[in-house]
Amino acid sequence: MEATKLEPLFNLQELEAKLNGNGRARANGLTGWDILSVDQFDRDKLAYIFGRAEEMREMVERVHGVDLLKGRVLACLFYEPSTRTSASFIAAMERLGGSVIPITQGVQFSSVSKGETLADTIRTLEQYADVIVLRHPEIGSARMAAEAAGVPVINAGDGPGEHPTQALLDLFTIKEEMGRIDGLKVAMVGDLRFGRTVHSLTKLLLHFDVSLRFVSPEILRMPLKIMNEVRDKGLDARETHDVADVIENADVLYVTRVQKERFSDLDQYNEVKDQYIITPDLMRQAKEKMVVMHPLPRVGEISPEVDADPRAAYFRQVQNGMYIRMALLAAVLGKA
């Protein structure tokens, strides 16, 4: 009997050609870049990365992975705990056909514990890897690593400083969930002082016509430097201590954990840690089309009963992180 010829469900070559750029400008100028701060992104670059992330989603849904970064190696160096950021960078690299040296939860087993400097560790890893992702407790550590390295360094969180790739996935999530960014009222709740994700997200939102609401305890207000940038932009922005002031009008409620590890006085942490808890009751006061986000981990700020609410987007946000990181890795490695 003659074998039935199966029609391919889609054209893999076409998909790979699309992922390879189809003649587009090479990675929109991102090739070889270190990604250290959201200050490096304008609306053009954001649109480029978001477009690529959407293509990555499509690709993963259809074929799970491709060989775009075959033979390329990522070193993942984490001096602070991480679940999502490290796992999503690893998944991103592997779905693009590359491989990973993970020095994550086990940093205590590396030469770092013997007293090696960050610069030496970086200069070592670049002998093996084409790109380095770094999380470190000190502000400016990623920049310092980038100066030491000849390969691109991606900042996965420098202490209470920035977390640019998280902010990119956060903004991408807002766009995917709400269909737009301009015109939205975004409320950020919790630890705005030490939370690096809200620092980076606020700076990215300055490229858009948004209203901003900052909800925090007095001791955890958004740093003055960032508030000044917000004011200079002339955006409608207000600070408050009370979620009740913002819940009815917010389009995006971005909730954060109080960053216990940044407190030198634990009594002070205990005083503020449970100040805001998002509950189904509070959600009843919010708009029907609104989105609740959280970079995770949560430690009680959003009650688990909220998870079933279709407005709870924090796990969809996690998935978006992988697509954004796929887009970024492809871009810095020159696969436009």
Rule CB under 6 A: which residues touch ligand NCD?
84-85, 157, 163, 166, 196-197, 257, 259, 295-296
Whether residue 114 lies in the annotated active site? yes
| Contact criterion met (CB below 8 Å) for 93 and 74 | yes
Q: How far is the CB of 145 from ligand NCD (least distance, A)?
A: 17
Residue 140 region, left (φ>0) first, then alpha (ψ -120 to 50), else beta? left
CB of 254 to ligand NCD, least distance (A): 11
68 or 168: CB nearest ligand NCD: 168
Residue tagged active-site, from 45, 57, 95, 135: 135
Is residue 57 part of the annotated active site? The answer reads no
Which residue lies nearer to ligand NCD by CB, 27 or 53?
A: 53
Q: Indicate which residue of 85, 165, 202, 256 is catalytic.
A: 85
Q: Which of 84, 123, 143, 233 is catalytic?
A: 84
Angle at CA 144, nearest 5°, toward 141 and 148? 135
| Residue 143 falls in the annotated catalytic set | no
| Identity of the residue, 68 or 322, whose beta carbon is nearer to ligand NCD in the bound complex | 322
Q: How far is the CB of 228 from ligand NCD (least distance, A)?
A: 23
User: Which one of the listed residues 45, 57, 136, 163 is annotated catalytic?
Assistant: 163
> What minimum distance in Å lies between the beta carbon of 160 and ligand NCD?
9
Shortest Å, Cβ 166 to ligand NCD: 5
Q: At a CB cut-off of 8 Å and minimum separation 6, what does 320 contact?
A: 53, 169, 172, 173, 176
Q: Which residues, in sequence order, are CB contacts of 311 under 8 Å at separation 6+?
A: 283, 286, 289, 290, 291, 292
Of the listed 5, 64, 114, 284, which one is catalytic? 114
Query: Does the annotation count 260 as an active-site position?
Result: no
Q: Which of 242, 316, 336, 331 is nearest to 57 (CA)?
A: 316
- Decide if 173 is catalytic: no
String of DSSP letters for 135-203: EESSTTHHHHHHHH-SS-EEEEEETTS--HHHHHHHHHHHHHHHS-STT-EEEEES-TTT-HHHHHHHH
DSSP 3-state of 69:
coil
Of residues 121 and 256, the one with the C-beta less far from ligand NCD: 256
Residue type, 131: V
Beta carbon nearer to ligand NCD, 12 or 219: 219
CB closer to ligand NCD out of 100 and 192: 192
Say how many CA atoms lie within 13 Å of 257 toward its Cβ.
Answer: 13
Token pair 């994700």 in the structure block, residue: 197
Smallest distance, Å, CB 157 to ligand NCD? 5
Please list the active-site residues. Answer: 84-85, 114, 135, 163
